[in-house]
Chains A and B, each alone.
Chain A
């Protein structure tokens, strides 16, 4: 127990600003009406951030609100409400939590449900979905929501990237995908212009896209400081510090946040301050969304000397120069290239290692760069998007790279009903024993 009490040496102080970001995003949706702005129910990593920001459309992030409900362990009432109208518990709980909340508000004639976490989220004027490769709920959730908010128009765009096939050169297909994504983004702009009654300011959009590029670069520069031993920042923190990149892309506030975070990490490195003291094992969070109601599990890892200097989850960007984007004066085409190349830029590496895949290649790159000893995956039962295929990734990682210790945790993102802290900690303990044996073998 003494070891546990020593606990996590430090969380970043910059991360303490995150609740303000999240609350700010929620309250913006509530204040939008009086400010004459339109609110769009929106989804992260859909490529539509800059369009919304350039048109003063206030995004209402359903995933964020459901995450807040989960973190406050206050999602059950919304999940039950959705379930009462036959939304299964096996569906995406980000969606069902949010739909349950919407159902209650509609039943109350638009009045905010009592006790809504952090004041709740504003009713949208439009819903921007995306039938992309990221997940089915991104276009099914909007349709389901519209059943209760029938006056709210839904627009679903589509952004794909070439599928991985070791026998096919994806470069031949990229232009087709970029053209399609660009046209779909243009359709999004037309829809937003129709709902807002305002024309897109293309210069402003270009400036917003440029700011996003800068933010992507700064994010990676900042996160790569975590390669340092001991690492100055853990995935437990990153699940918070992802907020500006994920929910506020294209804003100066997001960029400034990473300026501060970078400065703090540099100072920690200069001071020799790490997340765990001593730092015994370095592990990658290789895939999966976290259980928002159990983020304390990261501290449990830290208390045992295990740190996560890197994670795949919510690292939704890359240094732009590494993507080798073709030059274009069309900001929508630039977004499309950035999106497509973000996903495909591990393909060439995967093709060089027989049996590998881009997802595994990405994990290997991080393991090498961040000097990790093992990998942890999290499988959330209600989300197929991020969590189906994890077993394949884990097996491939062992086959094509090394027989490193791997832990696949099981739980959910929002639904706490399947979570058992004692069992989880027992599994973590067993994993740490495996890590210890592995490191001993490695000498």
Chain B
């Protein structure tokens, strides 16, 4: 460790739900971040600085001009170079914390590789931009018994729920199937406020740190965030005993179509 930063996690260790033991567990953890857009950038920045021992960053895109307002890890040079997001993000995170391992995975997350990725992680962060990948991630995480943190943002609003297999409901207890893309309001039409994305990502990161430090996130509590009015509401999502995923263990999204 470079001199002078032996106490780098002192302020996190002061928190009752982290402490020295929780910080040690966070340092021994691997987290998979699926997507390096507005949510993924902010999540990864918070988790890297919090000392998560290994971050796996997956994204298939390169940095574009329209990403700069909302995606906090990138700069204008990345746009010029058409840098792959996962790699640009990894280099910024390594500069912020050289004590952790950061692995960029520039490519698609699909049924072909999600199980292998989830197997390497203690927790999965949802920073995807579509529901097909979220249902895939839900299947893989529930099958592997790994927690994952759902988060979505649109306009000035967001939603966050921690999914703990065996501890609470999963995404399919809430929704039977992914909405067809043409039924959902797309961010490129309705926009995303950068502060809303950062707020959603911050709540997801807090849930992740609680889970990693103490195994105690707010499992199954759906938070709905409205940054325009500055309000958050939360309600318990009931577990569905007949849920095809966490109830009957039919992981249909993991099977090739």
Asked if A and B bind, the verdict is no
